[in-house]
Amino acid sequence: MEKDEIHLRRLPAAAPWGPHADSEFHGVDFLPEDLSEASEETGMRVNKKYSCLPAEEKGIHIINIRAIEDIGYDQHESTLLNSLSKNPDADCKYGLYFRDGKRKVDYILVYHYKKSSAGKTLARRAQQNDASVRSTKQDQPLPGKGVQLEMGDSELHMDYHEDDKRFRREEYEGNLVEAGLELERDEDTKIHGIGFVKIHAPWNVLCREAEFLKLKMPTKKMYQINQTHGFLKKINSVIQKITEPIQPKVAEHKPQTVKRLSYPFSREKQHLFDLSDKDSFFDSKTRSTIVYEILKRTTCTKAKYSMGITSLLANGVYSAAYPLHDGDYEGENVEPNDRKLLCEEWASYGVFYKYQPIDLVRKYFGEKIGLYFAWLGVYTQMLIPASIVGIIVFLYGCATVDENIPSMEMCDQRNNITMCPLCDKTCSYWKMSSACATARASHLFDNPATVFFSVFMALWAATFMEHWKRKQMRLNYRWDLTGFEEEEEAVKDHPRAEYEAKVLEKSLRKEHKHKETDKEKLTWKDRFPAYLTNFVGIIFMVGLTFAIVFGVIIYRISTAAALAISSTPSGRSSVRVTVTATAVIINLVVIIILDEVYGCIARWLTQIEVPKTDKNFEERLIFKAFLLKFVNAYTPIFYVAFFKGRFVGRPGDYVYIFHSFRMEECAPGGCLMELCIQLSIIMLGKQLIQNNLFEIGIPKMKKFIRYLKLKRRRSPDHEEHMKKKQRYEVDYNLEPFAGLTPEYMEMIIQFGFVTLFVASFPLAPLFALLNNIIEIRLDAKKFVTELRRPVAVRAKDIGIWYNILRGIGKLAVIINAFVISFTSDFIPRLVYLYMYSENGTMHGFVNHTLSSFNVSDFQAGTAPNDPLDLGYEVQICRYKDYREPPWSENKYDISKDFWAVLAARLAFVIVFQNLVMFMSEFVDWIIPDIPKDISQQIHKEKVLMVEVFMREEQGKLQMLGTWKDKDKRKGENCNNHSPRLSRSHSGSLSSCHSYPLDV
């Protein structure tokens, strides 16, 4: 007898592997020790399809060792498996396919397991032809490597939790097979203690789920896309030629003149779709989405309640679940794939000047991630004109600084204006000319062009939102998402694992008390403790932010008092800049630390609320995280813009904190320069440290740590070992995808810096543009090379982020109006120019804004210790305020000039806000949300689809009529036949009624 015949002698005729496996097979956990009994009940399961193993990984545990012993077949393991194996890894493509080399891996489930030492001992004895091998039990119901072998009663005893997880996995995987999926397990991997379950969705399952999910798929029908004519066509061709060098070299990015008509997939209407190549009809992104929907829907119920994939992941039954990347992205012999193409044309810093291949990004990662990068690209493009205008405004300030009369007066040594002390006792009187540098710098950002730039940026924000809506509609049309609302209603979100666990806990409590088993759900009473915790927690976090800002204020005050003791005039003149810069750096460090803390706290607060669906969870998390991070990032800036110098008091009656610290004052040139320093350092610091260094450094550090651990654990041939890793093992070592919330949050906070306080920092759009050019490629590189491939999620917009952007845009108008009106000196200058100027110029403006104080009116113990520091005795000192002079009847009272300026400021806020709001609404109204050509194309698609179905119905009616005519003619022919028919005509007679009348 041939060896192969002996080896396969007791196998059942049809091993229940693969797509046609009987679902009952997965209920069999162990093989009986008696081989004859085993052949009758289950049989030894050897699948010749799964023989594609590397030479060094071939193991005897593919088949039952007791069976070999009973047959009396003692052959070395390599000889035993030679009949099963061919070219190792030739068809598997290192894990992208099942071991038959035909079925593609669509999804991976990963789990931890404890491998007993008995299995290793048994395998070693079998290799040595040891005849004393005891009977073993097969523990894996799935085809593939990884059967655990156990010996002795002591080895059979395993941890209860591990057994429970294994039983849940077996039931869940059996249910997946019943749902139509095909599975294959692999435990004999390079990663110790990690098992993988490979999942493949066959054609019939893909069709069924695509119909259920109402996925729009391209039909055979193609139509011409409306092209522009005349002058617009010439302009488009010129633009296309100019931009050709910056277009990515991908097929998906080329302009299309024809488009396939798309229709929700239907198994009854398969003839409408182009099924010439079934392997590529559903791409890898769509296949993984379909499998993930099945994983979420499928449950195991061994413990009284159902557990879907989210619950199984949360409870540690599986440690990870993810789709595979298309292949490697670097190397000389790497086969071409979408991942490699994305890495070359998108995720590389060398192509920073090119457009993004958004269609390819969507094809690989799905619509939700595609929309994020499309939005980021539109935002970055829109920053280009804003940056140009900002640079022009800044250059205008530089060009006119020498012509600015107020700063010239402050720098004029001949004015001899003596200012009151900035602090009690230790600070002395000082000359206004010592603040010359600050005054000149303030003009760079506080000039008439600033008002124009604020109006421009408000309109820019409105235009950006409208431009994005139009771009979004174009993408919806191109990606066949125009009817997505109905599809969204058809497929409801599945409950989250935490919600199901909470409902189970509630129902078990209720069942224990009242013996009721009705379906439970969480009410507001169940969530009230969580709501209360959320409210208290958010209030506490906001209070903590305010407390930290207050602490920094104390630092500024005390440091300014200490530095003011310096005897050198240059030291005194730089006190304000030094204090501001160091305080901002402290603020930056605190903001970066609290950002990470608040992100974790926001997630925890959302988790204890136990939202029902992932969509609810994401929206609540975004709201909390944005609220906390908004307060954290902008509180120090709001303080400088609107509170610093407002509650100082006056000489002789200052406002004190803790009875010893005087409140800060603004510089003679106003607080706008300090606001500019504060904004620029925080914005640039966050972008440089948090957005770039953290995103680059942390993944690199984690990767290096993993490499060191592997190097310590592996043998000297580690490099050779690493080369032969399967695709799912390589992807398992990547970082899991954590969602788009952190990516959006970075850009939304940056959008706030660009729009909210742009009146104080016209260069903000420029720095945002430079950051985003790097950010796009950085995020792209992270998605392509550092993260596991995320599950593709359908979406037709950016969700709640659009509403946040609109809110920030409207808030920016109000804040910029107040910044111009109350923080800068723009309004006081206008009031002086048109009400108080004697010659219609700004000469005398500085003197007009300063009030006088008699030094004899100082409170006891607050006068300078060295009153002769300037070399002469001071009788009257000046301070920035609108108050009556000491020789007036109502000395030091607020003067009428103050009320005139305040009225002008409030009037400016009202006029500016309403004017800009009106202009923004006008822009919103004049620019349609849906481009005209897109609306025409959508209408054309609907008409064509109606024509297709009408033609199909007409074809059916014609066919039905033809069949009826044929049947009628055959009936007439049969009636005309003679009753005496020869045997040769019996066939014709029998065919008289071959066509049914009711087709």
Each residue of 908-943: pLDDT tens digit? 999 988 998 888 888 888 888 888 888 888 888 888
Model confidence pLDDT, tens digit, residues 463-501 = 999 999 999 998 988 888 877 664 554 445 667 777 777
Q: Give 112's strand partners.
A: 194
The mean pLDDT of 550-578, rounded to a whole number, is: 72
pLDDT score recorded for residue 74: 35
Of residues 341 and 16, the one with the higher pLDDT is: 341
Q: Is the pLDDT of residue 191 over 90?
A: no
The pLDDT assigned to 567 comes to 53
Contact (Cβ atoms closer than 8 angstroms) between residue 793 and residue 366: yes
Question: Is the distance from CB of 185 to CB of 144 less than 8 angstroms?
Answer: yes
Domain membership of residue 936 (yes or no) is no
- pLDDT given for residue 240 in this prediction: 80
Phi, psi of 671 (to 5 degrees): -90, 0
Burial of 158 (0-12, 13-18, 19+ CB in 10 A): middle
pLDDT digits (tens, 9 = 90+) for 209-259: 988 888 888 888 888 777 666 677 788 778 888 888 888 888 766 667 788
How much of the chain, in percent, has pLDDT values that exceed 90?
Answer: 16
Q: In the predicted model, what is the mean pLDDT of residues 58-77?
A: 32
Examine residue 710 and state whether it is found in any structural domain, yes or no.
yes
243 part of a folded domain: no
- How does DSSP assign 284-344, residue by residue? HHHHHHHHHHHHHH--B-TTSS-B-HHHHHHTTSSSEEEPPPSS-SSSTTPPP-HHHHHHH
Q: Residue 516: is its pLDDT beyond 90?
A: no
Write down the residue that tokens 């020498």 correspond to: 402
Q: Is 150 a member of any domain? A: no
Residue 838 resides in a domain = yes
When pLDDT is cut at 50, 70 and 90, the band that residue 627 belongs to is very high
Count: domains in the chain: 1
Assess if residue 133 is contained within a domain: no
Residue 291 covered by a domain: no
Query: What pLDDT, on the 0 to 100 scale, is given for residue 989?
Result: 41
Domain range for 884 is: 349-494+613-926
Q: Report the predicted TM-score, pTM, of the whole model to 2 decimal places.
A: 0.81
Predicted pLDDT at 808: 92
Say if residue 584's pLDDT is above 80. yes
Flag whether 202 is in a domain.
no
Best CA proximity match to 778, nearest among 707, 697, 681: 697
The pLDDT, as a whole number, for residue 17 is 37
Which has the higher per-residue pLDDT, 246 or 23? Answer: 246
What are the tens digits of pLDDT across the range 316-329? 888 899 999 988 88
pLDDT in tens, 360-378: 999 999 999 999 999 999 9
The more confident residue out of 810 and 3 is: 810
Kindly tell me if the per-residue pLDDT of 653 is higher than 90.
no
271: exposed, middle or buried (Cβ count in 10 Å: 0-12, 13-18, 19+): exposed
Given a cut of 60, is residue 76 above it in pLDDT? no
- Average pLDDT, integer, range 972-987: 53
In angstroms, the Cα distances linking 707 to 348, 694, 703, 734 are: 23, 19, 6, 12
Token duo for residue 81: 């498996």
Q: How confident is the model at residue 305 (pLDDT cuts 50, 70, 90)?
A: low
Distance (Å) of CA 167 to CA 154, 172, 305, 798: 20, 9, 14, 41
Res. 391 pLDDT band, cuts 50 70 90: very high
* Interval 880-890 mean pLDDT: 87
Q: What pLDDT band is residue 412 in, cutting at 50, 70 and 90? A: confident
Computed over every residue of the chain, the mean pLDDT equals 76
CB 465 within 8 A of CB 806: yes
Higher-pLDDT residue of 525 and 457 is: 457
Question: According to the model, what pLDDT value does residue 998 have?
Answer: 40
